Homo-oligomer: A and B are copies of this chain.
Amino acid sequence: MTRFNQPLGGNDMPRFGGPATMMRLPSQPTAEGLDVAFIGIPMDIGTSNRPGTRLGPRQIRDESRMLRPYNMATGAAPFEHLQVADIGDVPINTFDLKKSVDIITAFYAGVLAHGAIPLTMGGDHTLTWPILRAIRAKHGPVALIHIDAHADINDTMFGEKVAHGCPFRRAWEDDCLINDKVFQIGLRGTGYSPDDFDWGRQHGWTVVQAEDCWHMTLKPLIAGIREKIGDAPVYISYDIDSLDPAFAPGTGTVEPGGLTIWQALELLRGCAGLNIVGGDLVEVSPPYDPSGNTALIGANLLYEMLCVLPGVPQGR
């Protein structure tokens, strides 16, 4: 018998029943007493093409129902070492994006005040900026592992400072990032000019375009990143559109030629040992995901983040 929350098991309740919380974990209204809090941000008003990420948290939770507690690949058993719960959704204002980002920052300040590590189910990528603001208030600037098809460093979109293409520009302006410890992986597609990817480089960021990842394992890449980050606090932001759409069709701004799921797992598993202070999985759009598999993969990637958090031993 364990002292920590456990996911409701398949031998206690069929997997298609039970609470529709993340991994069928207990829910609680705040992060009090938690090591890790799963949080949903049901938002899509920051998206620029297809909508639908507002329903991401609901479907990620729904499709997380198959997840069992033990990681067969890495030997991680996070629920033996961490108190984890689902603390529900941030009540964003779906009619006002600018107010929503402030609601998010305030919500995460509360979570962090309890000492919990937030793992976020998005929602569109706009949400990472307000989370990073809260993270900075507690931890100072952080290293960033940002996996995405897009750089998301536009100064504005349609003249607006707040949108899903701008969060890392805003976070940079707010001194949330340790510039020489920022890593963007998987970028590709079409743009307006080379600056779309070079802006980060000009500020000391490491940008690994998707083409440089094709046909290979990414274990060396993440090993190098791990070394460069050292023991700095690090935030992981995983945009599901970093994956090629073959692996994650249900998203809004699709770019062919992306990462594989094997590379995604290598990257996240390779984060073990880092001082992770938070993470998110964004841009799952259920209306474009009739099988539910994109949400299911999103749930798995969040579980992989959980498995590499500080305090979870690795290995078999």
Contact of A254 among B163, B209, B257, B296 (CB under 8 A): B296
Question: Which of B246, B250, B289 sits near A247, CB closer than 8 Å?
Answer: B246
Interface flags, A1-43, vs B, CB<8A=1, else 0: 0000000011111111111100000010000000000001010
Whether A249 and B293, one on each chain, are in contact in the complex, defined by CB atoms closer than 8 angstroms, is: yes
Given A20-B20, A54-B16, A61-B20: A73 and B256 interface contact (C-beta under 8 Å): no
Q: Contacts A10-B157, A44-B51 given: A70-B193 contact, CB under 8 Å?
A: yes
Q: Is A232 an interface residue (CB 8 A)?
A: no
A50-78 Cβ-contact flags toward B at 8 Å (1 or 0): 11101101100110011111111101000
Contact status of A13 and B261, CB under 8 A, knowing A51-B44, A52-B287: no
Picked from B19, B54, B98, B296, the residue with its CB within 8 Å of the CB of A256 is: B296
Within 8 Å CB of A157, what residues of B? 10-11, 95
Please give the count of copies of this chain that the complex contains.
Answer: 6
A102 beta carbon closer than 8 Å to chain B: no
Q: Which residues of B contact A71 (CB under 8 A)?
A: 190
B257 touches A244 (CB 8 A): no
Residues on B with beta carbons closer than 8 Å to the beta carbon of A175: none
**Alpha-carbon distance A55/B27, docked complex (angstroms):** 21
Q: Which of B16, B96, B158 contacts A93 (CB 8 A)?
A: B158
**From residue A158, how far is it (CB to closest CB) to chain B in Å?**
5
Closest Cβ of chain B: how far from A207's Cβ, in Å?
10
A7 to nearest B CB, angstroms?
9
The smallest beta-carbon distance between A101 and chain B, in angstroms, is: 11
In the complex, A245 has a CB within 8 A of chain B: yes
CA distance A32 to B90 in the complex (A): 30
Q: Is the CB of A88 within 8 A of B290?
A: no
B89 lies within 8 A of A17 (CB): yes
The segment from A110-118, A129-137, A211-219, A273-281 found at the interface with B is A211-219
Since A16-B49, A20-B61, A93-B159 are in contact, a sample of 12 more A-B pairs with Cβ atoms closer than 8 Å, ordered by chain A residue number, is A10-B48, A14-B42, A16-B54, A45-B94, A70-B196, A93-B158, A96-B97, A214-B217, A245-B293, A246-B247, A255-B300, A290-B291
| 27 chain-A/chain-B pairs, Cβ below 8 angstroms | A10-B48, A10-B157, A12-B91, A13-B89, A14-B48, A15-B48, A16-B55, A16-B58, A17-B90, A20-B20, A20-B61, A20-B62, A44-B51, A47-B94, A51-B287, A72-B187, A96-B160, A189-B300, A190-B300, A215-B216, A245-B291, A245-B296, A249-B293, A254-B293, A257-B261, A289-B291, A290-B291
- A contact set with B: CB distance below 8 Å: 9-20, 27, 40, 42, 44-52, 54-55, 57-58, 61-62, 65-73, 75, 88-98, 156-160, 162-163, 187-194, 196-197, 209-211, 214-217, 244-247, 249-250, 253-257, 261-262, 265, 287-293, 296-297, 300-301, 303, 316
